Amino acid sequence: MTTEELIALSDKSIMETYRRIPIVLVKGSGVKVWDSDGKEYLDFVAGIAVCSLGHSNFKVVEAIKKQVEILTHVSNLYYIEPQIGLARLLVENSFADKVFFCNSGAEANEAAIKLARKYGHENMGGDRYEIITMIDSFHGRTLATITATGQKKFQEGFAPLPGGFKYVPFNDLSALEHAITEKTCGIMLEPIQAEGGIRIPDNDYLRGVRKICNDNDLLLILDEVQVGMGRTGSLFAYENYGIEPDIMTLAKAMGNGFPVGAMLATDRVAAAFVPGSHASTFGGNPLGMAAGLAVMEVLLKEGVLENCKKTGSYLLEKLNELKKNHSIIKEVRGRGLIIGMELSVEGEDVVKKCMDKGLLINCTCGNILRFVPPLIVTAEDIDMAVNVLDEVMGD
């Protein structure tokens, strides 16, 4: 079939839950992907921060191939070695004592919400179920997680929404303190707001949130679905801010393309979940765990985090240089390899023109270009991407 025929068949058969870009991608390797017409693209979207080790990473591919020939699924009624191995690595390299495995970021956040409420019910006394989240946050697409999300556009048309969520402005400790009631059990936020426009916390903000949680006996839930697994240059984003959460969620980059999610917690909090409290049939599946193990081993042993810090600083510098020459660029902000460029115009046209010239980027909030390339990106790749942007903005 031709590209046009494939797109027409897709539009006819698949629900329109995405506004798709009119290319059919068929192959990927490292930082590059190719479409059905053989055109090559530099991929600074990486499956929305999923393919952090690049497309078709050899060690992840080999781990999945090896596992699929041995054991593909048995359910969580039984122990399996790759799940035990990945849980051990996550626990040994984080604040957490226990892990719950699932399939996506929304599922991980749903689990975190349930765990916080269960903990509140059993340990805080009375009706401690309310969770405070941030305006412009994004926590997923299930009914509970769109309600946790502090953006009305994701909630419209789905009323009645579950109760028990309050929203306050990001980076505003005073508003957060004033929102706490006798019903509050936890505070949930992203260390860097990703879908909400790559919004960076002020220097002391997250330490302030941790202190508010401590002072009020509340759980701190960090959503690291997009910014975790090395994206900021540290294995987990919270490490950059001198704090530790009580609960943390992960997903996107965990399997480098294989769907895997996780919710991590301290022993004290995790004890609220007992057999029957929560479950996931496919969570912790042998294939996902094999992929996750391979990702963790590469992240920890092959200098990926160091490359993320180095190339992230370089990309930030080059985009700020671009800002001097193009008045439509209002601000460039980010950490590691999650960087946003806020424009004074809508970004859709820039995204399309970059695609035409062989660069894939993404736009969020209508006017913020989001750069989340694989963490193995090189300075040469960045130079090519910035040159394309320079040409597009100069047209």
Give catalytic residue positions. 138, 223, 252
Distance CA 112, CA 139 (A): 11
Q: Write a three-state SS string for the chain.
A: CCHHHHHHHHHHHCCCCCCCCCCCEEEEEECEEEECCCCEEEECCHHHHCCCCCECCHHHHHHHHHHHCCCCCCCCCCCCHHHHHHHHHHHHCCCCCEEEEECCHHHHHHHHHHHHHHHHHHHCCCCCCEEEEEECCCCCCCHHHHHHCECHHHCCCCCCCCCCEEEECCCCHHHHHHHCCCCEEEEEECCCECCCCCECCCCCHHHHHHHHHHHHCCEEEEECCCCCCCCCCCCCHHHHHCCCCCEEEECHHHHCCCCCEEEEECHHHHCCCCCCCCCCCCCCCHHHHHHHHHHHHHHHHCCHHHHHHHHHHHHHHHHHHHHHHCCCEEEEEEECCEEEEEECCCCHHHHHHHHHCCEECEEECCCEEEECCCCCCCHHHHHHHHHHHHHHHHC
